[in-house]
Structure 1
Amino acid sequence: MGIKNVTRIVLMFFAVLVFSSCKDTNTGIHTNVTGKAGEVVVVISEEEWNSDIGQLIRQHLAQEHVALPQDEPLFDLVKVPHVAFTKIFKTTRNILQTQISSAVDTSRVVFKNDVWAQPQATVIIQAKNRAEFEQLFNENKDRILSYFIKAEKDRLTGNYNKYFERGVYNVLNDEFGVTMKVAPGFQIAEQKEDFIWLRYETPAISQGIVLYTFPYVSDSAFTENYLLKVRDSILRANVPGPTEGSYMATERRIEQVQNIIKHNGNYTSEMRGLWRLMNDYMGGPYISLAELDAANQRIIVAFGYVFAPNKDKRNYLRQVEAMIYSLKLNNQKENDLLNEQDAIEIDVQANQ
């Protein structure tokens, strides 16, 4: 499924974007955004959509999402001609407006928040001709993609900040020294020392988060092999499947996608891939964070997964991703001091 070839895209999930002179935010807009999660309305003429311009937009914004069991695009694109771009479309969550005309004074890319609704992300590309449009788009395509991805995550985070399962929040706070805001309906399936399994079940889908900790003893704790070894050992012992002898494990027949980032300012490994049930036939995508709690010399792992047979999984995984990214350490101030003093740098490559 070409996971290795699209690893570069994962990095954009962690970009901290600063749109200053080219980003505008309107206030006083009270209309809520409309449309489906993961959609981008592209305002473009039929002629341009069927040209190299449209192909360029589709190739980038609708490229394959990394680490899913079936092909799904990063975004679903909805083409809307300029004359049809009326009120019904102006309140959609993500909008890419194009203008290619000799009447354009200055070719530019503009990022605007909350133009017609909130929380809304709008990108406007103005160019005098197709050649200038292609140049502008290619120069800014990663920023455009990151902007829309971040907007999707921020909307979910905003929802979970308002509405979250307080019982789970309190248990994590009291028993694990961390907080995490998971969606209402998540229940504790299993809890042990340094381990908790949260899940949300419906007849159609299952979303889960497994949080566990283990000692940080050396840099090798952040290598892919070591993280997978610990994870699979913990999953086998604590996350059984529905049939006797079945248990959750990492799908090792495909490559994992690992990136080293900073989360809350702490050294963190983000990993994506697929999970499976051993001795059974269930599986799906996962995303995990392994974050260093230097003050307690431990690593905290939040492993989020989705099981949604016969359904698209991208949006369900993005929901779980937003939840695990809400992870915060209660002793973060102590870690901030250690991070500043030690400037922690861990070499995982040498220990793979």
Structure 2
Amino acid sequence: MKKIYLLFSLAFFILSCDNGKDKIILQSSVGKVNKVMVITKASDWAGDIGKEIRNSFGELMVGLPQPESLLSVSQVAPNGFGKMMKVARNIMIIGVSDEAQFYVKNNVYAQPQTIVYVYGKDREDVVKMFKKHEKEIIKTFLDSDASMLQNLFAKDKLDDTQFKTLQNLGISLTISNKFNLVDDTGDFLWLRQHLSSGIAKTGSNNILVYSVPLEDETQVADSIVSVRNKIGKKHIPGSDPKTMYMITEKAYTPFTFDAVIDGKKAYETRGKWEVKNDFMAGPFLNYTVVDKKNNRLIIFEGFTYAPSVNKRAFLFELEAIGKSMKIQ
């Protein structure tokens, strides 16, 4: 009887392993948001390959008051790419191989993890392959980080059904419960997270959500600044509400790009905000979503106040929250 039970258990174990190859438990990945570990030879990193990577990833993020790159990079030689390095969340392996290739793999050594592979037949070919796919590579890493943050926020998600504005607008967002309510009128929502790291402990990350009628779709992009200025004057006061309120910084022209939120046409605007007649200022990110079904524009805005520190990571968290929007 014991032999039969042992054989049955062994058979079950083998069958489970065979059917569960894709269920191997990987260790958790590590790494800061918007940071990429590049695996390549030191000689390649010092040459044209490394120069091209640094120039591409080092492009400055739009709308920040201090110069900050889209992605930070570090380099590790292939012979140094050992067990400890393999748990990095964002990795790019690039170099010379028998054939030119570009592909992406997820969760190879850890989870969540994104690994981009770029190969060329010689160094010149490697540079050519990287330049051909550089926009896709950057987008891959940024999207991966946004998804990671959304999954992280989902674990301690704020119950957004408690907010009248989100209920009235018929939308949901994956927001960390570190955000607290400032205002919720039913038409306008303001949430704030007090920052607690380093010198930024006096600062905050802020979320605004509201809607305006869709009047002329061809004029949406051109009206974004004027709409946010009206909202700032009405809802975001300074220390003297009569003379101080949030506006778009006049000395800096915001940049607007095409975007897609929840499958709908949208516009992403990045720029700087300031408080009129005061010295408070910082970066903002605005998603204006065209909701034709309900003849309206839904606006999500995130803005950061964090004096004297880099703000890329703070704004990227707001970006991840904005991109989590679901519209009924």
2:107 aligned residue: 114
Provide the C-alpha distance between the structure 1 equivalents of 2:112 and 2:203, rounded to a whole number of angstroms. 27
Q: 2:172 aligns with which of 165, 173, 179?
A: 179
1:128 aligned residue: 121
Letter in 2 for 1:179: S
Question: Could you give the per-residue CA deviations for residues 249-268 of structure 1, whole angstroms, max 9, x where no partner exists?
Answer: 11122221112333223232
SS at match of 2:111: coil
Structure 1 stretches of at least 4 aligned residues deviating more than 6 Å after TM superposition: none
Q: 1:84 aligns with which of 80, 84, 96?
A: 80
Residue correspondences, number:
301
C-alpha change, 1:255 and 1:27, in structure 2 (3 Å) is: farther
Provide the C-alpha distance between the structure 1 equivalents of 2:326 and 2:269, rounded to a whole number of angstroms. 18
1:17-96 counterparts in 2 under 5 A?
A: 28-96=24-92
1:318 aligned residue: 316
Question: Could you give the per-residue CA deviations for residues 64-102 of structure 1, whole angstroms, max 9, x where no partner exists?
Answer: 1122111101111111122221111110111111232xx
2:153 aligned residue: 160
| Superposed displacement of residue 166, structure 1 | 0.9
Contact 2:95 2:123 in 1 (8 A): no
| Superposed displacement of residue 29, structure 1 | 4.3
1:240 aligned residue: 237
Letter in 2 for 1:322: A
1:347 aligned residue: none
Provide the C-alpha distance between the structure 1 equivalents of 2:30 and 2:92, rounded to a whole number of angstroms. 15
Provide the C-alpha distance between the structure 1 equivalents of 2:137 and 2:40, rounded to a whole number of angstroms. 16
2:256 aligned residue: 258
Which stretch of the first structure deviates more once superposed, 151-160 or 171-180? 171-180
Structure 2 residue runs without a partner (length 5+): 1-21, 196-200
Which stretch of the first structure deviates more once superposed, 90-99 or 251-260? 251-260
Provide the C-alpha distance between the structure 1 equivalents of 2:288 and 2:312, rounded to a whole number of angstroms. 21
SS at match of 1:285: strand
Q: 1:295 aligns with which of 293, 296, 321?
A: 293
SS at match of 1:115: coil
Q: 1:286 aligns with which of 284, 287, 290?
A: 284
1:207-222 counterparts in 2 under 5 A?
A: 207-219=205-217, 221-222=219-220
Provide the C-alpha distance between the structure 2 equivalents of 1:168 and 1:185, rounded to a whole number of angstroms. 16
Contact 2:61 2:70 in 1 (8 A): yes
SS at match of 1:321: helix
Contact 1:169 1:179 in 2 (8 A): no
| Superposed displacement of residue 274, structure 1 | 0.9
Q: 2:275 aligns with which of 274, 277, 300?
A: 277
SS at match of 1:111: strand
| Superposed displacement of residue 174, structure 1 | 2.7
Question: Could you give the per-residue CA deviations for residues 236-255 of structure 1, whole angstroms, max 9, x where no partner exists?
Answer: 11111245632111112222
Contact 2:164 2:186 in 1 (8 A): no
C-alpha change, 1:68 and 1:292, in structure 2 (3 Å) is: same
Contact 1:260 1:270 in 2 (8 A): yes
Provide the C-alpha distance between the structure 2 equivalents of 1:183 and 1:271, rounded to a whole number of angstroms. 23
C-alpha change, 1:45 and 1:171, in structure 2 (3 Å) is: same
Q: 2:227 aligns with which of 226, 230, 237?
A: 230
C-alpha change, 1:294 and 1:127, in structure 2 (3 Å) is: closer
| Superposed displacement of residue 188, structure 1 | 1.5
Which stretch of the first structure deviates more once superposed, 185-194 or 236-245? 236-245
| Superposed displacement of residue 161, structure 1 | 2.6
Provide the C-alpha distance between the structure 2 equivalents of 1:171 and 1:195, rounded to a whole number of angstroms. 9
Contact 2:266 2:290 in 1 (8 A): yes
SS at match of 1:253: coil
SS at match of 1:303: strand
Question: Aligned residues: percent identity?
Answer: 28
Letter in 2 for 1:77: V
Provide the C-alpha distance between the structure 2 equivalents of 1:106 and 1:194, rounded to a whole number of angstroms. 57
TM-score, structure 1 as length reference: 0.80
C-alpha change, 1:221 and 1:168, in structure 2 (3 Å) is: farther
| Superposed displacement of residue 314, structure 1 | 0.7
Contact 2:208 2:300 in 1 (8 A): yes
